[in-house]
Amino acid sequence: MGVFDTDGSEATGHEQVVFCQDRTSGLKAIIGIYSTALGPALGGTRFYPYESEEAALADVLKLSRGMAYKNSLAGLDLGGGKAVIWGDPVRDKSEALLRAYGRFVESLRGRYYTACDVGTYVPDMDVVSRETRYVTGRSVQNGGAGDSSVLTAWGVFQGMRAAAEHTWGSPSLSGRTVGIAGLGKVGKYLAGHLIGDGATVVATDVNPLALEWARTTHPEIQIVADTQTLIASDIDVYAPCALGGALNDDTVPVLRAKVVAGGANNQLAHPGIGKMLEDEGILYIPDYLLNAGGVIQVADEIQGFDFERAKLRATGIFDTTRRILQLAGDEGVPPAVAADRLAERRMAEVGRLRSIYLG
Amino acid sequence: MGVFDTDGSEATGHEQVVFCQDRTSGLKAIIGIYSTALGPALGGTRFYPYESEEAALADVLKLSRGMAYKNSLAGLDLGGGKAVIWGDPVRDKSEALLRAYGRFVESLRGRYYTACDVGTYVPDMDVVSRETRYVTGRSVQNGGAGDSSVLTAWGVFQGMRAAAEHTWGSPSLSGRTVGIAGLGKVGKYLAGHLIGDGATVVATDVNPLALEWARTTHPEIQIVADTQTLIASDIDVYAPCALGGALNDDTVPVLRAKVVAGGANNQLAHPGIGKMLEDEGILYIPDYLLNAGGVIQVADEIQGFDFERAKLRATGIFDTTRRILQLAGDEGVPPAVAADRLAERRMAEVGRLRSIYLG
């Protein structure tokens, strides 16, 4: 797979792809910038032991494109980017490697802002920030915004409210039963919002500590044995909040919920699942729309983090979900397609405004 | 072929490789930065209809590495870089494409300076310069240094003098016979210097205008029918000044010169030719050492072109050639290997000086 578009496919429509190497520290990184139409590209750095350079490239091309759509839909003045560091984070991560990476991020002079992703953590971003200004996801002590799962959960809750309004006429989840797969950080906060709104929460998690948290903090949460049991339960809304691929050929046929709205990434195991959900009459709210609270938070960090301002923007996921459901109805397409269209339109319509000269 | 070094090979030791795409104008460019140990990477932009993205990548990796060695040996405070634009220069070149390219050069904020190469010309660099400061090879009217063949020829002459000193004890070419293959811009100026020094010049060219120039300007130049005749002539020095690959399996066995010193790029058709020349007792002065006058000129343009300053530096090719011949003798290696070592040492020794903090 190459970098350049040779067949008109949006999948290789990337503006810039930057290979960065520092042989002494062992750094091998690829920064993908899909689009800067809306502003500097923002997206995290994945540190992963890919099988090959080709696999690393394919991942950064896919992820950076996804960020362009996510940031556009989130209403941010940010383009889409992502970076991968090819290596084993446990074995290969070092101060020198992270700082070499930081120098390459700096070399792009703000066309790309980085953040945490799989294999990179807040302390890593603190190290990266010693070489570049263009980094978010730092520790609170170093100007960072802290745990982004608070706003991620808030955004998921807002999108779920819009889905409820669309499905049952009222945005309230009161009286509805919501099944949460995964009581990690996002799932926990989401459960709290739902219980506060009067919903019944059914949940599952493989981690005993998460179950212990539920028993002590929210004894009203009904715990079930596993995800299979959860999706076959009599739930109105299914909220995948754990690993990707929650919606697949096995789970969709047994799913009893009318709405799927969760915080997990890449919920659809393959593109055909979208159609399957539609055929089953299940309303699927695109994951990258719902879980944008995290990127909204790190984006706010660029301006100097203000929780209330970021929360206001994450609350906007309610309105965006409404607009997408409206557009989906108007254009006769699934919400996922409507979301892509809205993201693309914003990139085109707002991006072209720079042609109005301001000096 | 990938970008990253996976086997310890210097051939993939590149610091940064930047793919740049602008789908509207059709721009597909790759900027290769081999090293910035000595300063910003400098090298031209080749506009060429490569068969594939892989072929374009392979070319930019090879060329940018070559520039690192050339710029190091030339004593410049510049690293090595090169760019390729994948396309047909006749069909695809446009103001928008060149300016899109200029914006990507600008995005690197001076880590890479571009210039002309195959398929790009002075008027193109003028267009590129409307989007970026980091461009040389512009027209004189736009701050450029003009025709670089003057200093290229001067540098070749200086290197040839050092080779003569090494071979015959005196740097003068007086009384020697020099065969010049190609009376293009560099070959013409070189012929002038040699005649001025008292040498006999034998030359060949396929272009009738070049032969007409010789007849009218320097009737003392002996014109022969073709390169085959030239290399079989009784010449002391052979100066390839036309296309690459002048030294190959066919030409070396019949070559009668004791010294090869010319301005053409990539004179060795394949790496084995270096050994063949050595076995024949022919002293080959590396092309990238001799023809550095061109890059010395465009480098000087960065500071605001001063011909005398640039000429002084190109005169230094005499001393550098001397050092390389000395090193080759000391270490028992061909001059080409000695040149590579000298270039690498300078990158390592001078590059590390930045570790002395200056604020």
Q: Helices (DSSP H) in A18-121: which residue ranges?
A: 53-73, 89-92, 95-107
pLDDT of B105 > 90? The answer is yes
Q: What is the mean pLDDT of residues B109-128?
A: 95
CATH of domain B16-64+78-142: 3.40.50.10860
The radius of gyration computed from the CA coordinates of chain A, to the nearest angstrom, equals 20
- Interface contact B20-A16, CB threshold 8 A: yes
Q: What is the mean pLDDT of residues A52-72?
A: 96
In the chain, the amino acid numbered A331 is: E
pLDDT of A357 > 90? The answer is no
**Triad B223, B228, B229: Cα angle to 5°:** 40
Find the residue in B nearest to A104 (Cα).
B16
Query: What's the rounded Cα separation, in Å, for the pair B161 and B170?
Result: 8
Going by pLDDT thresholds of 50, 70 and 90, the confidence category of residue B9 is confident
Q: Which residue has the higher pLDDT, B10 or A123?
A: A123
pLDDT at B164: 98
Residue-wise pLDDT for A279-297, tens only, equals: 999 999 999 999 999 999 9
pLDDT at A317: 98
Query: Percentage of chain B with pLDDT > 90?
Result: 91
Of the candidates A69, A68, A89, the one whose C-alpha atom is nearest the C-alpha of residue A79 is A68
Strand B45-48 and strand B79-86: the pairing is parallel
Find the residue in B nearest to A21 (Cα).
B15
Instruction: Give Cα separations from B257 to B158, B160, B171, B282 (angstroms).
Output: 18, 13, 16, 7
Going by pLDDT thresholds of 50, 70 and 90, the confidence category of residue B11 is confident
Backbone region of residue A49 per phi and psi (left: phi > 0; alpha: psi in -120 to 50; beta: other values): beta
Strand A283-284 and strand A41-42: the pairing is unpaired
Query: What's the rounded Cα separation, in Å, for the pair B265 and B156?
Result: 12
Residue-wise pLDDT for B165-174, tens only, equals: 999 999 999 9
Contacts of A38 (CB under 8 A, 6+ apart): A71, A72, A76, A77, A78, A79, A346, A347, A350, A351
| DSSP labels, B30-50 | EEEEEE-SSSSEE--EEEE--
pLDDT at A359: 79
pLDDT at B26: 96
Is the CB of B70 inside 8 Å of chain A's CB atoms? no
Q: Is there a catalytic annotation at residue A62? A: no
- For residue B80, the cross-strand partners are B35, B42
Q: What is the 3-state secondary structure (H, E, C) of B199-265?
A: CEEEEECCCHHHHHHHHHHCCCCEECCCHHHHHHCCCCEEEECCCCCCECCCCHHHCCCCEECCCCC
pLDDT at B146: 83
pLDDT at B172: 98
pLDDT of A181 > 80? The answer is yes
Query: What's the rounded Cα separation, in Å, for the pair B324 and A225?
Result: 76
Going by pLDDT thresholds of 50, 70 and 90, the confidence category of residue B292 is very high
Tell me whether residue A303 is exposed, middle or buried, using C-beta atoms within 10 angstroms of its C-beta: 0 to 12, 13 to 18, 19 or more: exposed
- Comparing CB atoms, the residue among B5, B54, B108 nearest residue A21 is B5
Going by pLDDT thresholds of 50, 70 and 90, the confidence category of residue A355 is confident
Query: What's the rounded Cα separation, in Å, for the pair B37 and B351?
Result: 4
Instruction: Give Cα separations from B251 to B161, B231, B273 (angstroms).
Output: 23, 7, 10
Query: What's the rounded Cα separation, in Å, for the pair A157 and A335?
Result: 17
Q: What is the mean pLDDT of residues A168-195?
A: 97
Of the candidates B186, B195, B238, the one whose C-alpha atom is nearest the C-alpha of residue B220 is B195
Residue-wise pLDDT for B308-334, tens only, equals: 999 999 999 999 999 999 999 999 999
Query: What's the rounded Cα separation, in Å, for the pair B103 and A28?
Result: 25
DSSP assignment, residue A267?
A: -
- Could you check whether A16-64+78-142 and A149-291+322-343 share the same CATH topology? yes
pLDDT of A243 > 90? The answer is no
DSSP assignment, residue A28?
A: E
- Interface contact B15-A20, CB threshold 8 A: yes
Residues 143-182 of chain B with CB under 8 A from chain A are none
pLDDT at B301: 94
CATH 3.40.50.720 fits A149-291+322-343, yes or no: yes
- Comparing CB atoms, the residue among B15, B52, B107 nearest residue A111 is B107
Going by pLDDT thresholds of 50, 70 and 90, the confidence category of residue B335 is very high
pLDDT at B248: 94
Q: What is the mean pLDDT of residues B28-48?
A: 97
Average pLDDT, chain A: 95
- For residue B19, the cross-strand partners are A17, B30
- Comparing CB atoms, the residue among B4, B16, B21 nearest residue A53 is B4
pLDDT of A122 > 80? The answer is yes
- Interface contact A23-B3, CB threshold 8 A: no
- For chain A, the domains span 16-64+78-142, 149-291+322-343
pLDDT at B356: 87
Instruction: Give Cα separations from A93 to A44, A52, A75, B97 (angstroms).
Output: 16, 18, 34, 40
pLDDT at B358: 86
Confirm or deny that B183 is annotated as ligand binding.
yes
Residue B297's Cβ-side half-sphere holds a number of Cα atoms within 13 Å equal to 25
